Structure 1
């Protein structure tokens, strides 16, 4: 318990920028606060603060230690609150990472709905199409298309299917016509998403027992590493793009995009997963958000059968 008190003092000193102020907050004299911080640094064999007569500044090691201490104290506070209340207490900050298009077009609205249920929860939302390193980015939950293949430090929980479709704007299709088979795509402009492993320009489609492959020529296509840009270019009429239904649901409903080759199904769909640290405590707020997301994913998937181009599947 002494060590826990020392850690709370360290966290308060970092927050307030003053050791004496942190001591007063915890009922300690300046001398006692200084002695306890010195004891903590000695036990760690690490200097946590650079101290001058005018300021207290975290060292690089101190910043790293602070992140872990804050998470540990939050977990203890969550457990105390749950025990004392006799029920699940949903409050605190949730740090989430997801892809740019899904985050902007779907998740942001869902987080607002979740906040209406649980107003004491706040969010830190990180949007990036590259896979976040959960171990180093201090993320509670990542939502990603596909699951890591070999990372045993993570748990991947399936959330939803991920149907991908070819789409284009009505204006583009009016001007250039519409392909009737994958082989026709060579006559159209295409938009390619590029990820860390390279451009996603190898497209495979199935229809019953038939399989058709098409390689988008990069020299004549628009490329981007941002899924949101891919969607915007398609909406603006620059060509045909391969997009997840999750990213373009609202565009299809509003008529900004139309599904192309609806009878051909893209062969390589990668389901959505929630990724967690295997050994990290998941507080009530994260568990509640996961349950909420599973409910919303199921509801939207059920409604997809009414989307233009998917009515007869």
Structure 2
């Protein structure tokens, strides 16, 4: 079995677009050519990757499982190409980046600084905010975002696909107010809340072995800046429900403790967003590889993924 790179690339593109026609338009091909490539890949793999109907196109369970591997193969090939040219090509120009406030200031910033030092001809323009940037209208080359990207008009590369949220609080708060032993106890605690666009996010979701549990929480402190929420947690003001990427260093240093470590939090995958594939410059590809490696190291630290 020899899987063609072009077929793999069209599979990933079709999964993102949700349509043979849209994928064909992006690749400057005919819809029939894209359909033929997918059928050829399905024949090579001996599985059905898409469930087709006259009105919809969606990934099968097998397609969902295969998609991250296909993306990884494509990323590795791009990285290999960049490696061959490393030392002959100098990264230059301006790279404009936007990222969530907490992750950007406290995790991403030193990585970006070191990246720029290795490439002195590269200029970085960074914006750290929890407001969702319009990558088509705003002066941005790439955006780092938490969550699953549903908009097929974007091109998304996974940075930390296994990242989850965790409940955290300062040891001092837990000593004073007690440590919750079950989700049922959360509403009796001071919870640190995030709000955006007039909406208060006071319903925290948790995956269970069967289904999902939503807990209504409350607290006197709320902010539209996730970094502020983390700082409140460190100051002992209550319990926060945060991305593991944002708080892992605080947990390792003892500034925060994980609450209910046996209860998995909801997924919070980190994605690198580009408005167009042509913006996947060598600088973007090298930065993506760096971020995926660094975030992968954080994701392997406890307690992410533990169930107790």
TM-score category by the smaller chain? 0.5 to 0.7
* Counterparts of 1:127 and 1:109, CA distance in 2: 13
Normalization by structure 1: what TM-score? 0.65
Three-state SS of the structure 2 residue aligned to 1:149 is coil
Q: Number of residue pairs matched? A: 223
**Residues in 2 aligned to 1:100 and 1:128: alpha-carbon distance in whole angstroms:** 5
Alpha carbons 2:116, 2:124 under 8 Å: kept: no
The alignment partner of 2:227 has SS state of helix
Alignment of 1:1-313 (within 5 A): 87-150=88-151, 152=153, 154-160=154-160, 161-196=162-197, 198-209=199-210, 211-217=212-218, 220-266=219-265, 268-278=266-276, 280-302=278-300, 304-305=301-302
Measured against aligned partners, the alpha-carbon deviations of 1:10-43 in whole angstroms (never above 9, x if no partner) come to: xxxxxxxxxxxxxxxxxxxxxxxxxxxxxxxxxx
- How much does 1:88 deviate? 2.7
- Distance change >3 Å, CA 273–CA 197, structure 1 → 2: farther
TM-score, length-scaled by structure 2: 0.66
Unmatched segments (≥5 aa) in structure 1: 1-84
Q: Is the 8 A contact 1:155 1:277 kept in 2?
A: yes
Q: Structure 1 196/156 Cα, relative in aligned 2: closer, same or farther at 3 Å? A: farther
Gaps of 5+ in 2: 1-85
> CA, structure 1 residues 262+90, in 2 after alignment: closer, same or farther (shift >3 Å)?
same
Q: CA deviation at 1:254?
A: 1.2
Inter-partner Cα distance in structure 2 for 1:279 and 1:254 = 39
CA distance in 1, matches of 2:279, 2:159: 20
Distance in 1, Cα, partners of 2:211 & 2:262: 11
Deviates more, 1:192-201 or 1:174-183: 192-201
Distance (Å, rounded) in 1 between the aligned partners of 2:111 and 2:167:
25
Q: Is the CA contact (8 Å cut-off) linking 1:89 and 1:284 kept in structure 2?
A: no
